[in-house]
C-alpha cells in the first residue's frame, strides 16, 4: 500500500478542553484512555506497538514522540508493523492560553486525502466524546 506525498493532507484544529493536562494526557497516551474516545479499542502489543481498532480492522502505530502532560505523536505503520515513507500520523498537543489559562487540544491529522468537511465532522464528534469523558 504505497501512497504519494501529493495524496496526503495535514488537517490541524484546536479545540478548547476544560480539563487540566494531568487529567487529559492519559486519554491521549494510553490504550485505556484512547479506547474510550479515539478508537473502538486500543491495545499495546508486546513489541510496544499500539493497535487502534476501527471497524474491526487493526491499525498499528508507534508512539514516536511524547512529552508527559504535553504532547503525543503516533506514526502509523503498515500491516506488518513496518515504517513506511511519508507515513500517516496523528499529533495531540495540549496547550494553555497564557492570557486566559484555558486548555486547548491541538490535533494534527496527516493522512490520505479526505474531504475537509468530513474530517471536521469526525474530529468534532471525537472531541465531543472526549469532553464528555473528562467533564470539559
Using the structure block, give the residue that is written with the C-alpha cell 481498532.
Answer: 53
Contact call for residues 24 and 94 (beta carbons, < 8 A): yes
- Residue 4: pLDDT band (50, 70, 90) is very low
Distance CA 102, CA 66 (A): 21
Q: 41-89: per-residue pLDDT in tens?
A: 999 999 999 999 999 999 999 999 999 999 999 999 999 999 999 999 9
Question: Does the domain formed by 7-134 have CATH 1.10.3720.10?
Answer: no
Tell me what pLDDT residue 6 has. Answer: 54
**β partners of residue 59:** 52
Q: What does the pLDDT average to over 103-124? A: 92
Contact call for residues 104 and 23 (beta carbons, < 8 A): no
pTM, whole model, 2 decimals?
Answer: 0.90
Amino acid at each position: 500500500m504505497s501512497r504519494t506525498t501529493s495524496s496526503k493532507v495535514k488537517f490541524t484544529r484546536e479545540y478548547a478542553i476544560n480539563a487540566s493536562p494531568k487529567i487529559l494526557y492519559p486519554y491521549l497516551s494510553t490504550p485505556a484512555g484512547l479506547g474510550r474516545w479515539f478508537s473502538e479499542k486500543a491495545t499495546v502489543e508486546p513489541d510496544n506497538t499500539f493497535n487502534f481498532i476501527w471497524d474491526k480492522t487493526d491499525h498499528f502505530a508507534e508512539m514516536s514522540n511524547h512529552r508527559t502532560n504535553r504532547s503525543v505523536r503516533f506514526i502509523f505503520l503498515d500491516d506488518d508493523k513496518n515504517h513506511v515513507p511519508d507515513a500517516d500520523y496523528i499529533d495531540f498537543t495540549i496547550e494553555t492560553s497564557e492570557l486566559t489559562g484555558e486548555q486547548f487540544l491541538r490535533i494534527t491529522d496527516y493522512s490520505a486525502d479526505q474531504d475537509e468537511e468530513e474530517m471536521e465532522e469526525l474530529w468534532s464528534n471525537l472531541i465531543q466524546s472526549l469532553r464528555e469523558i473528562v467533564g470539559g
